[in-house]
Amino acid sequence: MTSSLPSRLLGRVVSMSTVDRMNFSRVFQDCSALNAGKQAHARMILSGFIPTPYVTNCLIHMYIRCSDLVRAAAVFDVMPERDTVSWNAMIFGYAASGDMLTAESFFEMMPRRDVVSWNSMMSGYMKNGSFRDAVMTFARMRNVGVTCDSAGLAIVLKACSSTENVIVGVQIHALAVRMGFLHDVVAASALVDLYGKCKRLRLCHQLFHELQEKNWVSWSAVIAACVQNDDFVGGAELFKEMLRAGCEVSQSIYASVFRACAALSAVSLGSQFQGHSLKTNFGTDVIVGTATLDMYAKCDNLSAATKCFTHLPHRSLQSYNAIIVSCARNSRGLEAMQLFLNLRRTALKFDDITLSGAFRACAVIKGLSEGLQLHGLAVKSTFASDVCVTNAMLDMYGKCGALSQAQHVFDDMVRRDAVSWNSIIAAHEQNDFAEQTLILFVLMLRSAMEPDEFTYGSVLKACAGGQIGTEIHGRIIKAGMGFDSFVGSALVDMYSKCGKLEDAQKLHDRIEGETIMAWNAIISGFSTIKQSEDAQKLFSKMLEMGVKPDNFTYATVLDTCANLATGELGKQIHAQIIKQELQADAYIASTLVDMYSKCGDMHDSEILFEKAPKRDLVTWNAMICGYTHHGPAKMALEIFERMKIENVRPNQTTFISILRACAHMGLVDKGFHYFLSMSKEYNLEPQMEHYACMVDIMGRCGRVSEAYNFVNEMPFAADDVIWRTLLSVCKMHGNVEVAEMAV
């Protein structure tokens, strides 16, 4: 910043024979650059002018404004005559810089204190998070007989708001009434804010509507109060009322209304408010821009959120946090990690929200290596002991299958909350450690931590049924969660997987509102035990009740179509999926490929396979299995070779289909090649079914004796299926000798 204004004024000062003190005071008041201020100070000394306390106070204020407390203190120390303004300036400077100890020492040494002195101390405590000290200073001021002003009342009310201390706040309210401050817009707005933060929305509205004068501060307080107390519609309506009243809009008001839109998932209304912010020249404001992108992110409109982030001229840590968390929440883990790396290249630092979002991104991509590096970064920072960060870390290790690391983090936690317990319990359940999941649940109960719906959701998945599941159901009823939709759906799922479909059906019928989760659980339960027709009937009933299916529902019903080979119904479901624009979902795409292949429609299966946005192992296996059963079998082998080129790792199921395809084609040597590659290339130990396929391959080609020797050399005893397969090929080729040995 240039110092042209001080230089011009100094020219006037030096050229005058009689120096006017007003010129120097004006120079110091107008100066906001430290170098220019120092030059002005030097000129004053060289001119021989002896400053009055007023001019010296202006000089002190200039140094404080330029954040040079050392020079401000030096000027103060040599003042021959100090007034209250001088002391107040120093108190204000040290309090604003966070040095409350020095501010307190100046305050105690003051010969005379006025209301500004007290207000400066209270404001300093407020800014430094010492809310109790701010209230105590106000009480002390009252005890020594100093009359407070509206600014002091506003400060102490803000301290009460920050701690949600409504009892002291009510006493301050009574004092404001006695002193006639209720008509003061500053004090009244602080009262509105107090009652909003203390969950007294009715009183908040009453005070606001009694205000004779309303400015943007009072409007901001009442709109924020509505949003903080979950009256999101009320907040949006007040915003519209404010616009009709012709009041100017502020950053904080926009932040509140965008938060309301996010909570209501009202993306259309939020878009209108964004248009309004652009018209009022808030389009480039970093606070408003961050609130806008956060709104779009929470409304699951990630493209709009990304666009907002891209067009922000200046990005804050909060804007980075919002987009990183949004990407992670929408399963865009790689993008979230790239944004985190971009943040690290800037001058901005990260905080607990940043790290938590980055850990969630690692969980999404199952990036254990990246997660370990983040863990190291957290340890080096001050956030390693932050409970939110460690909870996200626990979730990441669980989803990456690193249970030992997850347990180590959990054991080292100084403070654990319900989320911590839920994370470690879910980590073991997700990795199929059912017994340890239940042990951790018992430990959680012994720690006096009360389980919530998420705890029971994980624990019920780990229940194999029988007595354990019933006991936990009883505990859920005692806890008053029996009719909770989330827990109820988990119970339906648990009983369904245990084959207790009658109990599952009764629970499903009792769940309030019969949510999509409950419908998915019961439909999936019938599908799992191959009662596909009943599952389809439940799906029809769900549609009749107006419940909208999701991707899991469609995938489950498509699976029933595959089980029953009802291709026509599958095509109808496919049409509904296209209408709902869910065909891009990787899970649904793989289920469609599987459904068409099992129905023998390899043409449509192949089309969907080629169009699949992401081919996972299930999709590849569906195509290989389809060609194996419906032909041509050589296509199964071609698809398998493509699968290897694209670095998709096969599993046990893949090789069963491949070996069966070799059997159909009579490829003994190729079959042996694939069989041996299981352990050599993929570290997969052949199971009984793979050995049965090899016996079938050799037997079909007339190599019955080799098949018999192969069975005898198996690492485990052959089961009935293998012996029946061998006897079948003996009958096919009339090999009585081997048949007798097999018997």
Contact 653, 690 (CB under 8 A): no
Average confidence (pLDDT) over 31-39? 86
User: How many Å apart are CA 514 and CA 528, to the nearest integer?
Assistant: 20
Looking at residue 123, its amino acid is: S
Cβ within 8 Å of residue 504, ≥6 positions away: 491, 492, 493, 495, 496, 521, 522, 525
User: How many Å apart are CA 560 and CA 547, to the nearest integer?
Assistant: 19
Most confident of 45-49, 196-200, 614-618: 196-200
Asked whether residue 330 carries a pLDDT value surpassing 90, the answer given is no
pLDDT digits (tens, 9 = 90+) for 622-648: 999 999 988 899 999 999 999 999 999
Report the chain's mean pLDDT, rounded to a whole number: 88
| Least confident segment among 392-406, 487-501, 531-545 | 487-501
Number of C-beta neighbours around residue 616 at 10 A: 14
**Sorting pLDDT into bands at 50, 70 and 90, what band is 170?**
very high
Residue found by looking up tokens 């020797």 in the block: 709
Contact 554, 529 (CB under 8 A): no
Contact 134, 156 (CB under 8 A): yes
**Sorting pLDDT into bands at 50, 70 and 90, what band is 495?**
confident
User: How many Å apart are CA 590 and CA 605, to the nearest integer?
Assistant: 10
pLDDT, position 738? 75
Asked whether residue 512 carries a pLDDT value surpassing 70, the answer given is no
Report CA 41 to chain centroid distance, whole Å. 53
Which candidate, 52, 24, 51, 22, places its Cα nearest to that of 40?
A: 24
CATH of domain 549-648: 1.25.40
pLDDT digits (tens, 9 = 90+) for 651-689: 999 999 999 999 999 999 999 999 999 999 999 999 999
More confident residue, 465 or 342: 342
Report CA 590 to chain centroid distance, whole Å. 28
Average confidence (pLDDT) over 450-476? 85
pLDDT, position 639? 95
More confident residue, 578 or 498: 578
**Sorting pLDDT into bands at 50, 70 and 90, what band is 514?**
low
**Sorting pLDDT into bands at 50, 70 and 90, what band is 2?**
very low
Asked whether residue 5 carries a pLDDT value surpassing 80, the answer given is no
pLDDT digits (tens, 9 = 90+) for 382-440: 888 899 999 999 999 999 999 999 999 999 998 899 999 999 999 999 998 989 999 99
pLDDT digits (tens, 9 = 90+) for 181-199: 888 888 888 999 999 999 9
**Sorting pLDDT into bands at 50, 70 and 90, what band is 742?**
low
With H, G, I as helix, E, B as strand and everything else as coil, classify residue 428.
Answer: helix
Judged on CB neighbours under 10 Å (0-12, 13-18, 19+), 289 is: buried
pLDDT over 70 for what percent of the chain?
96
Asked whether residue 14 carries a pLDDT value surpassing 50, the answer given is no
**Sorting pLDDT into bands at 50, 70 and 90, what band is 22?**
low
Asked whether residue 36 carries a pLDDT value surpassing 90, the answer given is no
User: How many Å apart are CA 166 and CA 186, to the nearest integer?
Assistant: 19
Q: How many helices (H) and strands (E) does the chain have?
A: 45, 0
Average confidence (pLDDT) over 244-258? 91
How long a stretch of residues is the chain? 743
Cβ within 8 Å of residue 235, ≥6 positions away: 223, 224, 226, 227, 256, 257, 260
**What is the SS3 assignment for 338-355?**
HHHHHHHCCCCCCCHHHH
Asked whether residue 17 carries a pLDDT value surpassing 50, the answer given is no
Residue found by looking up tokens 């008041």 in the block: 29
Looking at residue 527, its amino acid is: S
pLDDT, position 464? 64
User: How many Å apart are CA 394 and CA 398, to the nearest integer?
Assistant: 6
Enter the DSSP assignment of 314: S
pLDDT, position 257? 93
pLDDT, position 376? 94
| Least confident segment among 80-89, 310-319, 399-408, 523-532 | 523-532
Contact 75, 56 (CB under 8 A): yes
> What is the biggest distance separating any 2 CA atoms in the chain, rounded to whole angstroms?
133
pLDDT, position 661? 94
How many Cα atoms occupy the beta-carbon half-sphere of 113 within 13 Å? 23
Tokens representing 544 are 């009749």
pLDDT, position 29? 85
Asked whether residue 732 carries a pLDDT value surpassing 90, the answer given is no
**Sorting pLDDT into bands at 50, 70 and 90, what band is 21?**
low
Backbone angles phi, psi at 417, to 5 degrees: -110, -175
> Domains of the chain: which residue ranges?
333-444, 450-538, 549-648, 653-742
Asked whether residue 9 carries a pLDDT value surpassing 60, the answer given is no
**Sorting pLDDT into bands at 50, 70 and 90, what band is 100?**
very high
Which candidate, 219, 299, 226, places its Cα nearest to that of 261?
A: 299
pLDDT, position 378? 93
Asked whether residue 223 carries a pLDDT value surpassing 90, the answer given is yes
How many Cα atoms occupy the beta-carbon half-sphere of 481 within 13 Å? 20
pLDDT digits (tens, 9 = 90+) for 47-63: 888 888 998 999 999 99
User: How many Å apart are CA 190 and CA 218, to the nearest integer?
Assistant: 8
Interhelix angle 434-446/418-430, rounded to 10 degrees, is: 170
User: How many Å apart are CA 658 and CA 642, to the nearest integer?
Assistant: 13
pLDDT, position 213? 84
Average confidence (pLDDT) over 463-484? 82
ω into residue 715 within 30 of 0, thus cis?
no
Report CA 625 to chain centroid distance, whole Å. 39
Which candidate, 196, 185, 198, places its Cα nearest to that of 225?
A: 196
Which candidate, 102, 183, 179, 186, places its Cα nearest to that of 146?
A: 179
pLDDT, position 507? 84
Which candidate, 529, 590, 530, places its Cα nearest to that of 554?
A: 590
Write the CA distances from 668 to 492, 663, 694, 703, integer angstroms: 48, 7, 8, 9
